Amino acid sequence: MKILAAIARETGKPFSVEHIEIEEPRQDEILVKVVATGVCHTDLVVRDGMMPTPLPAVLGHEGAGIVEKVGAGISKVKPGDHVVMTFNSCGTCPSCKNHDISYCHEFFPRNFEGARSDGSSALSQDGTPITSNFFGQSSFASYAICNELNVVKVPADIKLELLGPLACGIQTGAGSVLNALQVSQGDSFVVFGTGSVGLSAIMAASAVSATTIIAVDMNDDRLALAKSLGATHTINPSKVNSTEEILKITGYGAKFALDTTGIPAVIKGAVESLAPKGTCGILGASGPDTEISFNETHFMSGGRRLMGIVEGESNPDVFIPELIRLYQAGKFPFDKLIKMYDFQDINQAVEDSESGVTIKPVVTMPAA
């Protein structure tokens, strides 16, 4: 079948919207008519050649759409179901067996290799294969093929266009708070970086009534937005020393910190801002050679902890519907982060995301 897709053809260059071909779904695959897809920082990292995903590629990994067709072996969803497509996993390794699927032992090949596990591609143009199956979906396209492990059924009574970002960026921020760090009522929590992940973390901390929620960012407009979404305090580290401020606000330091930037100096500050027995989560994808350091005595003597977090340690079949319920209850207004763009304008969406004009761009497919 012919589909419309945004192709990353050359490193660092804009996407090119073209017609290509998609195969029929195999017996263990699901064909989804894509309605909208969020743009995530990871799509841009891959476009920029910082991961070994081969180009030309159809990227996109926050897809939302309607099931069009299923292979004979599919029972989880049926044509007509509303779904989002999340990260892929193998389903059989020790992590997957233990429901820790974001730590799938095959996370990298299943999400970044850009092919089915047998090496084949579901996408081609004039007979030449194009990298497909990015995060088990490649959803910058009018149709995408996914599988039972990364498809999540969502209710049909909520605007589907909004839901794609729940499948990566928003579940990463909210899940880091609710699943990984397990921030709860009365806790103090500080987040470094107020992009879509950081702001989702703030909304989640607010939803569970953390008492002190501190947002740290150099951008005053973002700090104002963070406040409107539940931050109790904001700090601009270009104006004041953030560690000193956090110690002043909390007394002993924060019980929980979350770095969303992946910047070593920021992570150092996040660890230094922890109270004794406090935990710092890190989730930024900063490239394969980045190393971090912090003071050994301070870290050890306070029993402090550092935790790597992928995809908010989410079990998406459970967590995404939970986030939708919180949204419907008015406790998780993630729609405030989203701006919609026509699919044809995907490069404008990317530009606005990179300049900070838009927090979470979502590209919507033409109706026909």
The contact set with Zn ion (CB under 5 A) reads 40, 42, 168
Calculate the alpha carbon distances from 179 to 16, 56, 183, 205 in Å: 38, 36, 8, 11
Q: Which does 179 bind (CB under 5 to 8 A by kind): Zn ion, ligand CXF, none?
A: none
> What is the rounded CA–CA span in Å between residue 151 and residue 307?
27
Do 157 and 135 meet the contact criterion of CB atoms below 8 Å apart?
no
**Residues touching ligand CXF: how many (CB under 6 A)?**
6
Strand partners, 147: 29
- Residue of the chain from 31, 36, 168, 197 that contacts ligand CXF (CB under 6 A): 168
Q: Which is nearer to Zn ion, 231 or 362 (CB)?
A: 362
Q: Are 295 and 289 in contact (CB under 8 A)?
A: no
Distance (Å, whole) CA 100 – CA 76 = 20
CB of 192 to Zn ion, least distance (A): 18
Report the site for ligand CXF in 73-132 (rule: CB under 6 A). Answer: none
What's the min distance (Å) between Cβ of 237 and Zn ion?
25
62 or 187: CB nearest ligand CXF: 62
Which one of ligand CXF, Zn ion, none is in contact with 310 (Cβ closer than 5 to 8 A by kind)? Answer: ligand CXF
Residue 170 CB partners (closer than 8 Å, separation 6+): 196, 197, 200, 323, 334, 337, 360
Q: Which helix (H) or strand (E) holds 196?
A: helix 196-207
CB count within 10 Å of CB 324 equals: 20
Least Cβ distance, residue 284 to ligand CXF (angstroms): 8
Q: E strands of 90-133, at which residues?
A: 123-125, 128-130
Q: Least distance in Å: CB of 168 to ligand CXF? A: 5
Q: Closest CB to Zn ion among 37 and 250?
A: 37
Alpha helices, DSSP H only, in 41-85?
A: 41-47
Of the pair 66, 292, the CB lying nearest ligand CXF is at 292
Residue keyed to tokens 């998780």: 332
Residue 4 or 50 having the CB closest to ligand CXF = 50
Compose the 309-328 pattern: x for residues touching ligand CXF by CB under 6 A, - for all others. -xx-----------------
Which residue's CB comes closest to Zn ion?
40
Closer Cβ to Zn ion, 168 or 323, answer by number = 168
CB of 41 to Zn ion, least distance (A): 7
- Interacting partner of 70 out of ligand CXF, Zn ion, none (Cβ under 5 to 8 A depending on kind): none
In the complex, the smallest distance separating the C-beta of residue 245 from Zn ion, rounded to whole angstroms, is 30
Residue the block writes with tokens 């709860």: 184
User: What are the residues whose beta carbons fall under 8 Å from the beta carbon of 226, sequence distance 6 or more?
Assistant: 194, 198, 199, 202, 215, 217, 234
- Euclidean distance between CA atoms 309 and 107, whole angstroms: 13
For Zn ion, give the closer residue by CB, 144 or 275: 144
36: left (phi over 0), alpha (psi -120 to 50) or beta: beta
285 binds, among Zn ion, ligand CXF, none (CB under 5 to 8 A by kind): ligand CXF
Q: Which is nearer to ligand CXF, 111 or 243 (CB)?
A: 111
Supply the minimum distance, in Å, between the C-beta of residue 175 and ligand CXF. 11
342 Cβ contact partners less than 8 Å away, ≥ 6 residues apart? 363, 364, 366
Cα radius of gyration rounded to whole Å, the chain: 20
Give the strands of the sheet with 254-259, arranged side by side.
233-235, 212-216, 188-192, 254-259, 274-282, 305-308
Least distance between Zn ion and beta carbon 197 (Å): 9
Looking at the Cβ atoms of 141 and 168, the one nearer to ligand CXF is: 168
Q: Does 285 bind ligand CXF (CB under 6 A)?
A: yes
Nearest approach in angstroms of CB 259 to Zn ion is 16
Residues near ligand CXF (CB under 6 A) are: 40, 42, 168, 285, 310-311
